[in-house]
A and B are shown apart, each in its own frame.
Chain A
Amino acid sequence: MATIQLMINEKTIQVECLPSDTLLDVLRRNGYFGVKSGGCNKGECGACAVLLDGKPVNSCCMLAMQAQGHSIETIEGMGDHPQKGWKESPGLNVIQQAFIQTGAIQCGYCTPAMILAIRSLLDENNDPTEEEVRKYLSGVLCRCTGYQKPVQAALLAASIIRGETEPGTNLAYSINVLPPYDHREGYPGNDIVSGDQLTRQKVMPKIQLPTEKPVYQQVGKPEPKVDAIKLAQGKPAFTADIEMRGMLHAKVLHSPYAHARIKSIRTNVAKSLPGVVAVLTWQDIPRVVYSTAGQSDPIPGPLDTFSLDNKVRFVGDRVVFVAAETDQIAEKALGLIDVEYEILPHILDPRDAMKPGAIKIHDEPELVPFADSDADQNLAAKIRIDIGNLDMGFSEADEIFEGDYEVSKVQQAHIEPHVVITYWDEDDRLVIRSSTQVPFHIRRVLAPVLNLPVKRIRVIKPRIGGGFGGKQEILMEDVAAHLTIATGRPVKYEYTRSDEFTSSRSRHPMRIHMKTGVKKDGTITANEMTVLSDTGAYGCHALTVTGNTGHKSMALYVGDGSYRKSPNIRFHADVVYTNTPPSGAFRGYGVPQGYWAVERHMETIANSLGMDPIEFRLKNTLRSGELHPFSTSWSEGREPRPETVHTVGLEDCVRKGMEQIGWGQKFGNPEWQAVPGKPWLRRGIGIATVMQGTAIPYLDMGGASIKMNDDGSFNLLIGATDLGTGSDTVLGQMAAEILGVPTEDIIVYSSDTDFTPFDKGAYASSTTYISGTAVCKAAELVAEKIRNRAASLLGGQASEILLREGSASLPDGRAVSFTDIALDSLHHNNQEQIMAVASYMSPVSPPPFAAQFAEVTVDTKTGELRVDRLLMAVDSGIIINPLTASGQIEGGMVQALGYSVCEEMTFDENGCIHQKDLDHYHIFRADEMPKMDVIFIETFEPSHPFGVKAVAEIPLDGVAPAVGNAVRNACGADISSIPITPEKIWGSLNRIKQ
């Protein structure tokens, strides 16, 4: 170790470091936790950015010693919380404030790096163009926001710095209310959003309000996120942002083979390496079969996984756990372990999995099947759903259309890698601090694996740096826990970016066959989808993801006329094991795969029939008051219960979207499709209509607890898991609305199995709906107690008391403040804690609906595709917070765009993945984004107190087919598999020429 001096945030400090230490290592070791690690050490993601002499650089790929003599700035030097007691605070920097006000912070993991990048820009130029802002942001990858709001934040900050906007101005943006679509006018198509409209004028989405909507004080407002101030400061809010005395570092030896039996493991040399504290093989820990899927009990899938096994089933599977004093020692120890494998034949192509004679991937006797899963056939799940009479439907059709479609395996690519810290607390209870979406499921599932009762485990979820389903998996918590049990010491286990690609989870790749019967007038008489889904080496989420593929995408088109009451739909799927990294949950949960097939297929049918593709769709889609067709036949292996869909804003989404994108001027207009001076370029426009679900009925449950404090503020404790979406904020807003206080008076604490009520976790687009209803119920109970006490103080009827602006008032004007109510209840009279606990489980899953549009330009000579614009008009019920909701849509659209045109996991013949980093697995950067627009078509969903439906997953569903349909519109290329690459477009165009 050498001692060097570094100038950090204008202070010279001495630090100890090795020549090999990166600046990132040294900064975090010295408490600068605002500098995050994306696990790459190659500068791919930029989460580790600092300013070096005023310029943004990635601290993971420079040595600490290189930084000597230079000025280093981190987020810790930027600003402070405005309220720091008696000590005057400088407050937050104007850029931090702008990020908070514009909703530019979602998970917040990349936020410090983005803020620093903008600081660098605005120090040079306080009047930047949007292009310049995007250039400076382009060094930082963000998987949540789609960059729209960070760009708006930068432009707002610049405006404040220039003096054009008052600092601290209440930027409660006005709602861009759209008039309802007038069905009498047909396609207007004239109100095109100007291409040069400043992004910063579009902080708020456009909203079409329902005909009747109550007036709310907090609901519907663009409240800043409740965690935004700490995230803007880069506070140590994430899992890895703590140091513990004696903490060990874990590493896992991964399999180099796709399928092999472990004959022997020699660990002596590794164990003797100084600094190595524990080496565990399958022979050292209990053999307990379980599923890594983070789902409710009973797990709806096979139990086919062990913490460590004597067999490996994919390249990247676990072989040995190591704990050592440092990360480097642990890494070195892996190289000293000698494993003898018996290499087995492997299966990479799912079409080979069920062939006669195929090798059995799961031959362990302990495997527990679920429903129709059959390990003898490499079948992790089998789904057979038949609604109505398909044969009759096909016999009534004038034409039958068939098509084959394919979707690829893609990665969640959250910027914070998977990470966990485990330790024994002072009561010898095992604490698991994890970046997870499912803390309560972790506790339940791991208890038997670790041979601990549930009550001796506590799971804490700090802030999460993105999850997108990848953290709905009990992926690595057991590794650190086993090592803590073995050593008695705290253990940190953190994935590298490479691990995320080789040893994590991904979206299920699928091959989908569509067969649809249609009458000449466009009525769908029968619709059939047959799926071969690849679950990879383990069956986590196999049944439910693939079931969802049909449950959501095949439910949208019921047919017209008498078919509406009795649709003919078939969804059959085989979900097979292969020797590839396991698939799992990924935002959209199987539905984007289904819509790629369905919406490309519908476009083909409409074209073949010579019908307008939009009118063809709307003729056949589900309408208000109709039964969700699948609700009569399937419920993830549980008893199905018929469910009526009450709110369907789809037609308004389509009409409004058409109006805003100028569909009428563009679709079928050769003049618009041509690019002046470049005849080889062709423009195209496309649409997809989609629906999702909101929570899992009769299963998902969330709880909430609210208590009143001395000053009339409230603690809201929720098990719900905010993974950056802003759910803590919208739950706080709902509580504030009912309790009659500003949202800032609701102190939200979430996701700690010891302190918060149960919640199923963050998945299935359920939090605002399920956990939100629990919050509303708890808030109503608390409100009732407040009214009762106010009545006793004021001498009126409790039922007449109105709670508003932190006080309880009678119609005659008499009022008492919440502070006085709290003091009275806690200290003065008939003392009691005003508090309540409530929970909620829903009997329904009201679907959100959307119309998604894309505009593209295709180079017909090379097949190169550029997506110019995405627009989504979505019915997610009432929008609680337009900032967080539109942020969900924008970020989701960009994730879906990557899925559509560039992202893809591919493997060589030995099962080794080609893409192990974010250079080769490209996700969109800030300076290559299409123009994006969000429109909310509000409907009031009667099953929720505030009328909400889901928002988080639906943006993933329609982008790919909309882009595919736009490509077809542009040049005739008909692409059946995603990603839509230049090669595929070129090939299709060549086939057309021939």
Chain B
Amino acid sequence: MIIEYLRPDSIEEAIDLLNRQNPKSIPLGGGTSLSQMRSADATAVIDLQALGMREIEIINGFLEIGANVTLQQLHDYSQVPPAFQAAITREGNFNLRQMATVGGTVASAGGGSPFNALLQAGNAEIIWQPGLKPFSFEDFHQENQRNYLGFISGIRIPYTSSYALERISRTPLSESIICICGAVRRDGTSRIVITETSNPLASVLFEGRLNPGEPDSHFIASKWVGKNNFPDQYLEGILIELLDRVINELRKEG
């Protein structure tokens, strides 16, 4: 139950509020995950909207995105990679994307989120206040699970990387049966991940260089299916197909 709403004017004030022990205080982005906050616990929400963090800039080959940039604003930004546009349209309907922020999505959407999966594949950095400390996706989620004594102020995406997203669904906008995201990073290595709704992060399917004949989609798919104890011929079959498509797309882009 939300018992207190506060809208700090400065980063310092926000951090002070989030560091209070009682009531438990959590940062509020767009609010589109409010329904998840309707637990019986007394909670204060610290609305970050007065703190700016609304810029999108390309700096030194990185796309730097303020945490309060909405998903729709990022989608409409002229230089956002197309794979990100595709991912954003799967993050909720048009109205939700007007409110949902990049920071809020990173913090709360979890491993089923195509947007998060793409960031994770591209090795995006999450910028954390206090201290403008950069985290990898994996490190952030480990840190974030411990407490909320701060907030995301932005993310940084390697802009020169190549990105690809492939998914299968019943209708163009229904939830994915499988969604695979991949990126070729500046150092020439690639990471391919698969969204996993039940996990905080997407699962890494492949990490390394896209050499001729590598990676082997059949091997990756059978490994993933085996790991998930999910002997489903269909999932394995389309996983192979989508992996091939992502790899081909990354090779083409790369």
Contact = CB atoms under 8 A, between A and B. Distances in A.
Given A62-B31, A982-B238, A19 B98 contact: no
A983 B72 CA distance: 32
B120 to A, nearest CB: 22
Interface residues of A, number: 48
Interface stretch (B88-96, B130-138, B156-164): B88-96
Given A43-B95, A925-B173, A986 B45 contact: no
A866 B172 CA distance: 8
Contacts of A257: none
Interface residues of B, number: 41
Contact of B175 (A41, A135, A919, A928): A919
Contacts of A902: 170-171, 174
B248 to A, nearest CB: 13
A114 B72 CA distance: 18
B80 interface: no
B35 interface: yes
A63 B94 contact: no
Interface in A21-66: 22, 41-44, 46, 49, 52, 55-58, 61-63, 65-66
A920 B93 CA distance: 13
Contact of A19 (B4, B35, B234): B4
Contacts of A19: 2-5, 44-45
Nearest to B72: A55
A139, A919, A924, A928 pick with most chain B CB within 10 angstroms: A139
B221 interface: no
B93 A138 contact: yes
Given A61-B31, A66-B31, A43 B173 contact: no
Contacts of B96: 43, 58, 61, 139
Interface in A56-99: 56-58, 61-63, 65-66, 68
A389 interface: no
A863 B34 contact: no
A864 interface: yes
A58 B99 contact: yes
B30 A62 contact: yes
Nearest to B238: A862
B28 A43 contact: no
A57 B93 contact: no
B192 interface: no
Contacts of B174: 902, 922
B59 interface: no
A983 B235 CA distance: 8
A758 interface: no
A927 interface: yes
Interface string A854-888: 00000001111110000000000000000000000
B170 A66 contact: no
B49 interface: yes
B35 A41 contact: yes
A328 B1 CA distance: 10
A44 B94 CA distance: 10
A986 B2 contact: no
Contact of B238 (A41, A44, A65, A986): A986
B238 A863 contact: yes
B172 A928 contact: yes
Interface in B229-254: 233-234, 237-238, 241-242
B32 A862 contact: no
A176 B34 CA distance: 49
Contact of A862 (B30, B38, B242): B242
A981 interface: yes
B82 to A, nearest CB: 16
A776 interface: no
Interface in A123-169: 135-136, 138-140
A983 B45 contact: no
B168 interface: yes
A52 B170 CA distance: 32
A66 B7 CA distance: 8
Contact of B5 (A49, A63, A136): A63
B108 interface: no
A796 interface: no
B2 A20 contact: yes
Interface string B8-43: 000000000000000000001011111100100000
A662 interface: no
Contacts of A61: 31-35, 96, 99
A109 to B, nearest CB: 16
Contact residues of B: prevailing secondary structure:
mixed
A140 B96 CA distance: 10
Nearest to A2: B5
Contacts of A41: 34-35, 38
A110 B110 CA distance: 30
A957 to B, nearest CB: 21
B39 to A, nearest CB: 11
B172 A56 contact: no
A210 interface: no
Interface string B199-243: 000000000000000000000000000000000011001100110
B47 interface: yes
B171 A862 contact: no
Contacts of A42: 32, 35
A52 B97 CA distance: 13
Given A62-B99, A862-B238, A982 B171 contact: no
Contact of A63 (B2, B72, B234): B2
B144 to A, nearest CB: 22
B116 to A, nearest CB: 16
A979 B170 contact: yes
A220 interface: no
B169 interface: yes
A922 B5 contact: no
A3 to B, nearest CB: 13
Contact of B34 (A63, A865, A987): A63
Contacts of B238: 861-863, 982, 986
Contact of B95 (A57, A920, A979): A57
Contacts of B169: 864, 982
Contacts of A924: 171
B30 A861 contact: no
B44, B169, B234 pick with most chain A CB within 10 angstroms: B234
A733 to B, nearest CB: 36
A136 B47 CA distance: 27
B171 to A, nearest CB: 5
Contact of A65 (B47, B168, B175, B233): B47
Contacts of A905: none
Given A19-B45, A138-B93, A922 B171 contact: yes
Interface in B169-195: 169-175, 177
A67 to B, nearest CB: 10
Contacts of B1: 20
Contacts of B171: 901-902, 922, 924, 928
B99 A922 contact: no
A65, A117, A927 pick with most chain B CB within 10 angstroms: A65
B241 A927 contact: no
A983 B234 CA distance: 6
Given A19-B2, A862-B241, A983 B177 contact: yes
Interface of B: 1-5, 7, 28, 30-35, 38, 44-45, 47, 49, 72, 92-96, 98-99, 168-175, 177, 233-234, 237-238, 241-242
Given A46-B95, A982-B170, 9 more contacts: A42-B32, A56-B98, A62-B99, A66-B31, A136-B94, A139-B94, A139-B95, A928-B173, A987-B234
Report, nearest first, the 7 A-B pairs whose CB atoms are least far apart.
A139-B95, A139-B94, A922-B174, A902-B170, A928-B172, A20-B2, A19-B5
24 contacts: A20-B2, A20-B38, A22-B34, A41-B38, A52-B99, A55-B72, A55-B98, A61-B33, A62-B32, A63-B2, A63-B34, A65-B7, A66-B28, A66-B49, A117-B94, A117-B95, A135-B94, A139-B95, A862-B241, A862-B242, A864-B169, A925-B93, A927-B172, A987-B234
